[in-house]
Structure 1
Amino acid sequence: MLISQNMITDVKLIIHQSREQAIRVVDHQRTLMYWHIGKRIFEEEQLGQERADYGSYLIRYLSEQLQPEFGSGFSRRQLERYRQFFRLFPIASALRTQLSWTHYKLLLPFENADKREYYLAECAKNNWSSRQLERQINSQLYERLLLSNDKDSVLEVARNQQYPIDPKEIIKDPMILEFLGLKREAAYYEKDLEQAIISNLQDFLLEMGNGFSFVARQKRLHLDGDEFFVDLVFYNRLLQCFVLIEIKTHKLTHQDIGQ
C-alpha cells in the first residue's frame, strides 16, 4: 500500500508547529511567573517602605530561601530583575506572547521609555529572535534611525500607526554589516562584498529595515539605449518601490555617479 508523500510532509509539519507552539506557551508562562514574582516583591516592599534598607533585605532573604531549592534563577540579581520587570511592565495582559523572557531581559536596562517601546514593537511586529534583538540593540538601530528622523515618526512606524513615506524612515544610515565576517583592515573586491551579502541574506534584510524582500543580483537594465547591470535589487512593500544597490569598495568618481 502506497502512502502519499504529501501526507507524511503534512504530519511532520503538524508535529513541528505543535512543538514550537508548546515551547512558546511554556516560555510565556515562565515570563508570567517572573512578572508575578516581581509584583509580589514590589507589594511586600511597600509594606516596609518606612525602612530604607527593607527592599535589599527582602531580596536577600528571599533568595536565601528559594535558590537552594529552585536554582540560580532565583539569585539576588535575578530577583531584582523580576522586580524591575514588574515596575517597567505593570500590566500583565499587555505582555507580548511573541516575546520570551530573554527578550524582556534585554530591554530592562533601558532608561529611555521610547527606546524600550520601539524595540518592543519591532520585536513583536517582525518576530525577532532574542539573538536578532540583541544584535539590533548592539548596532544602535534606534539611534541610527533618529539621525534622520524625529522620535515620533520612528515610534509611529514601529507601532504600525503610519506607513513610511520617506525611505529615511526605515533605512538606516549608516548600516552595520559586522555579520558579513569581513575584516575592516582587509581589501576586498566588490564581487567579494556582494557574495558575502548573498551568503548572509537574512541578516542583511534585517539590517536594511522593514518590508524588504530580495529580487535579484546582477540584474540587467536597459535605460535610454544603454545596458547596465545592478548588483542587488530589492523590493520594499511599505514604500512600494524597488531599491537598487550598487556596491562600491572605492571612493565614488564622477563616472560612477554618471552611471
Structure 2
Amino acid sequence: MLQNQSVIPDIKAIIAASKDKAIKAVDNERTLMYWYIGQRIFLEEQDGKERAVYGTYLIKFLSQQLQPEYGSGFSVRQLERYRQFYRMFPIASALRTQLSWTQYKFLLTIDNQYKREFYVAESVKNNWTSRQLERQINSSLYERLLISNDKESVLAVAKNEKLPSDAKEIIKDPMYLEFLGLKREAAYYERDLESAIITHLQDFLLELGNGFSFVARQKRIHIDGDEFFTDLVFYNRILQCFVIIEIKTDKLTHQDIGQLQMYVNYYDRVEKLPRENPTIGILLCANKNEGVVKFTLPENEKNIVASQYKLYLPTEQQLLEAMNIELQNFEQGKESE
C-alpha cells in the first residue's frame, strides 16, 4: 500500500509536461528547418536571377527530387511557402519560439508588415492557440482596432510599449459574437444570450480583449434587504479591476445605465481591495443611443461603457467603408487645424 497517494498523479504530471516540451521542441526545430530551406531556395534563385523563369523551374525541380523521399511537405506549394517564410521573416534568431509552424502559416497570409507584427505580438502575449489566432485574423481584429484607434497606438500596445489606461482602450465596440450561433432573425431573451456566452466562454474571453478572466454568473448582491443579480462578472489583470457586464437584447435605456452604475458602486465600496482600481461596467446591448449614454453619465466618465454586440462578422466591404470614413474624418481634422 502506497504511503503517499500523490505519487501517481505527480508522475503523470511530469510525463505530460515532458511530452508537451518535447512536442514544442520538435515543432520549433521543424519551423527552423523550413526557414533554412526557404533561405537556401531564395539564395539559389538569386544566383540564377538573370533567368526570368529560373525560380519556377527550381521549385518544381526540387519538389520532384524531394517529395518522393520526404512526402507531401515538399510539394511545390509547400516549398513556395518556405521561401515566402524566409522572405517575410528574414532573421532566424528573431523567430518567436512560442509560435508553432501552424501559426506561422496563418501569419504568412498577411501581406501588411504592421498587421503581421501586431498578430505576432498578440499571439505571444496572450498565448493564443492556432485556432484562436486564426479566429482573430478572420474576425479582422487589427482592422477593427484601427477603426477605433490610430495605427501608432495599436502598434504600441501590440509591442508592449504602451499599456491600456482605461476601459475604452481595452474593450471592443462593437463586439462580434458570431461564435454563439445565435441568428439575427431569431427571437431570444437576455438569459439565452447569457447562456450562450457561458457555453462559449473561451471564445467570449478572446473577443472581450486582453487580460480577462471569468468570476461569476448571476452574482447575488444584497442591499438593505433587497436582492439584485449581476449578469456576468469578470476580472481584468491588466487594469487590475472587476468588470461587470449587463446584457440588454432590447433598446438601451437610462434606467439600464443607472442599474449598472449601482452595481459598479457596490463593487467599488464592498468587493474591491484597496490596491485594486475602480470597477468597470459594460452594457452589452443590441442597440445603443450614444446620446442617452452621454447624458445619463457624468462628463468624463471612464468606467461605464456601452458596447454594441453583433451576431455576424463585418464583410470586407463594410470594413473598408468604415476605415475610409475614419480616414476622411482624420484628413478633414488636419485641414481645419
Bin of the TM-score, shorter chain as denominator length: over 0.9
TM-score, scaled to structure 2 = 0.73
TM-score, scaled to structure 1 = 0.94
**Match status 1:153 vs 2:172:** no
State the one-letter code of the partner of 1:230.
T
More deviation, 134-143/168-177: 168-177
Alignment-derived partner of residue 95 in structure 1 = 95
Deviations 1:155-176 (A, max 9, x none): 2222222211132322222212
Matched residues in 1 for 2:132 and 2:227: separation?
A: 39
Superposition pairs of residues 176-255 of structure 1, within 5 angstroms: 176-221=176-221, 228-255=228-255
Alignment-derived partner of residue 13 in structure 1 = 13
- SS of 1:5's equivalent in the other structure is coil
More deviation, 213-222/40-49: 213-222
State the one-letter code of the partner of 1:124.
V
Native 8 Å contact 1:148 1:168 kept in 2:
no
State the one-letter code of the partner of 1:140.
S
Native 8 Å contact 1:145 1:171 kept in 2:
no
Superposition pairs of residues 110-125 of structure 1, within 5 angstroms: 110-125=110-125
Matched residues in 2 for 1:257 and 1:173: separation?
A: 17
Q: Which structure 1 segments of 5+ residues have no match?
A: none
**Match status 1:80 vs 2:80:** yes
- SS of 1:147's equivalent in the other structure is helix
More deviation, 79-88/67-76: 67-76
Deviations 1:225-253 (A, max 9, x none): 97542211111121222221111111223
- SS of 1:213's equivalent in the other structure is strand
Alignment size in residue pairs: 259
Matched residues in 2 for 1:67 and 1:88: separation?
A: 24
- SS of 2:21's equivalent in the other structure is helix
Q: Greater relative contact order: 1 or 2 (C-alpha under 8 angstroms, separation 6 or more)?
A: 2
The alpha-carbon distance between structure 1 residues 254 and 170, as it changes in their structure 2 partners (threshold 3 A), is closer
Query: Once the 2 structures are TM-superposed, how far is the Cα of residue 122 of structure 1 from its aligned partner?
Result: 0.9
Percentage identity across aligned positions?
Answer: 75
Deviations 1:119-145 (A, max 9, x none): 001111111111111011111111111
Superposition pairs of residues 168-183 of structure 1, within 5 angstroms: 168-183=168-183
Structure having the larger proportion of residues in strand: 2
More deviation, 66-75/154-163: 154-163
Matched residues in 2 for 1:109 and 1:42: separation?
A: 19
Matched residues in 2 for 1:201 and 1:255: separation?
A: 28
More deviation, 13-22/222-231: 222-231
The alpha-carbon distance between structure 1 residues 222 and 151, as it changes in their structure 2 partners (threshold 3 A), is farther
Alignment-derived partner of residue 38 in structure 1 = 38
More deviation, 67-76/2-11: 2-11
Matched residues in 2 for 1:188 and 1:241: separation?
A: 31
